[in-house]
Amino acid sequence: MAKTAAIILAAGHGTRMRSGRAKALHELGGMPLVMHVVRAVEKAGLDLPWVVVGYQAERVEETLEGHAEFVRQPEMHGTGDAVLHALSAIPDEVENVVVLYADCPLVPAALISDLIERHRQDQSAATLVTTYVQNPTGYGRIVRDAEGAVEAIVEEKEADAVVRQIQEINTGIGIWRVDGFRQLLAGLPFHGEEKYLTDAVEALRRQGARVTAMVWEDPAQVMGINTRRELAEAEARLRMDTLNRLFAAGVTIVDPATTYIDADVEIGQDTVIYPMTFIRGRTKIGRECHIGPMSTVVSSRIADGVVVEQSVIEQSVIASTARVGPFSHLRAGTYLDRDVKIGNFVELKNTRVGIGSKAGHHSYLGDATIGGRVNIGAGTVIVNFDGTAKHPTFIGDEAFIGCNSNLVAPIEVGPGAYVAAGSTLTQNVPGDALAIARGRQENKPGWAAQRRSKGRDA
């Protein structure tokens, strides 16, 4: 079978987005637009795509490192010029190139596969992807000959009244035979400072070559994103596709209208997602969990049977049957072992908590290793930062940390040790010891009554 390569055009600025960021790097479903297209190419079974970069080239290359080969378009001279630059880099054994666009992120892998097969069957010089829309205003119209081959792509401003009634439009996506394509692109005319890839259709027809089209029935999957509104519309479409995938996998989503789940998220069977919940990044959630309401989970791994209620979980790992919340915050690097209970208003950062330990109320635990079956009393603060560096804390198995305790790191509390409520510790505590680090209480009988009496006399 003829070798086929993919070219993704990602050099443009995207001025209609009104952004300082390259359009290819705007996010959709938790990943850059261009990454969606790269993944579609991968799923279609092709080798690494050739991505044409220009504006903010370094940032695009960094984002796609390991997922693509790169060709730089030094100056923005249009789609025809961009493809010509790509053809100068692809291997000689490539016989066909699929041209895709970074701002067309909903294109499915099935479209690419079907396009390649259709092109092979028709043996055309080019096979374009078209679609039908109710309102074609602004799009190039597909004009076919009597045999159904593509005669021309007529842009809106050049279309007469008859052509403007055509509802079949050009998506820009297509597959082109490489033989002779370089020479053809090099000879395309300039429109101002740009060469249009669409002009290649007319050029091929003048040579007597055959150009065919494959109609894609779902217009939303092949529409480009040029504005913030179109980005939001694509986000809504992708979000519903993601929710439908999860429904089919046995996940309960109580209120789809207020649940936002990124495209890469995986959720196990019989998990329930409650309203106003955001699950982002490369998060993986196990079976029979309860997440939400009003929770945010970012790039974290959550095992089976976990409950997260009205809390924020970021880049953390939670083992089975743990419970978090309400109103707690797990920051990056947190690991909760099984059966851990983190209650309300507890913040953890870069902290490992052992099996069955509990931190029920209003505590900060940072840069700590906490053993199993430890009790962290309300108001406990691990004082891990000295203004310059962070320091570790180690708490052994079955230790008991009393309420309103400050553990000034670096410090170690041994297994089975007790810390008296209200203590501020600056020294290690041996195992099974009781640490008391607070001022001695002194009661002065009658002092308050005397003070009130003096106040009345005054």
Amino acid in the structure at residue 149 = A
Q: What percent of the chain has pLDDT over 90?
A: 91
Judged by DSSP in three states, 53 sits in: strand
Instruction: Note the Cα 89 to chain centre separation in Å.
Output: 30
pLDDT at 259: 98
The annotation status of 384 as a binding-site residue, yes or no, is: no
The per-residue pLDDT for 354 is 98
Phi, psi for residue 91 in degrees, rounded to 5? -60, 155
Contact 212, 206 (CB under 8 A): no
Rounded (to 5) percent helix, strand, coil in the chain: 25, 30, 45
From CA 185, how far away is CA 204, in angstroms rounded? 10
pLDDT per residue over 30-72, tens digit each? 999 999 999 999 999 999 999 999 999 999 999 999 999 999 9
Q: What is the pLDDT of residues 157-168, one digit of tens each?
A: 888 999 999 999
| Structural contact between residues 394 and 375, judged by C-beta atoms closer than 8 angstroms | no
226 among annotated binding-site residues? yes
Q: What is the dihedral of CA 408, 411, 413, 414, to 10 degrees?
A: -170
Q: Which amino acid is at 18?
A: R
238 φ, ψ to 5°?
Answer: -65, -40
Residue 331 known to bind ligand: yes
Q: Are 336 and 330 in contact (CB under 8 A)?
A: yes
CA distance to 131, 297, 396, per residue, from 216 (Å): 5, 36, 62
378 assigned to a ligand binding site: yes
Whether residue 78 is annotated as binding a ligand: the answer is yes
Q: Which amino acid is at 424?
A: T
Q: Catalytic site residue 361?
A: yes
Q: Is 338 annotated as a binding residue?
A: no
Residue 142 has pLDDT above 90, yes or no: yes
pLDDT (0 to 100) of residue 191: 87
pLDDT the model gives residue 456: 78
Is 1's pLDDT higher than 60?
no
Q: Which fold has domain 232-435?
A: UDP N-Acetylglucosamine Acyltransferase; domain 1 (2.160.10)
pLDDT at 371 over 90: yes
- pLDDT at position 13 is 87
What are the tens digits of pLDDT across the range 85-122? 999 999 999 999 999 999 999 999 999 999 999 999 99
In which band, very low, low, confident or very high, does the pLDDT at 380 lie, cut at 50, 70 and 90?
very high
Q: Could you check whether the bond before residue 108 is cis, i.e. omega within 30 degrees of 0?
A: no
Q: Catalytic residue, from 119, 361, 362, 391: name it.
A: 361
**How far apart (Å, rounded) are the C-alpha atoms in residues 10 and 23?**
8
Quick check: 428 and 412 in contact, CB under 8 A? yes
430 Cβ neighbours under 8 A, 6+ residues apart: 414, 417
Quick one: tokens of 416? 């089975």
> What is the rounded average pLDDT for all residues in the chain?
95
At 451, is the secondary structure helix, strand, or coil? helix
In the CATH scheme, what is the homologous superfamily, with its name and number, of domain 4-221?
Spore Coat Polysaccharide Biosynthesis Protein SpsA; Chain A (3.90.550.10)
The band of 256, judged by pLDDT with boundaries at 50, 70 and 90, is: very high
Residue 20: the pLDDT is: 92
pLDDT tens column, 446-457: 999 999 988 777
Domain locations in the chain as residue ranges: 4-221, 232-435
pLDDT band at 409 (very low <50, low <70, confident <90, very high): very high
Which neighbouring-strand residues pair with 51? Answer: 8, 70
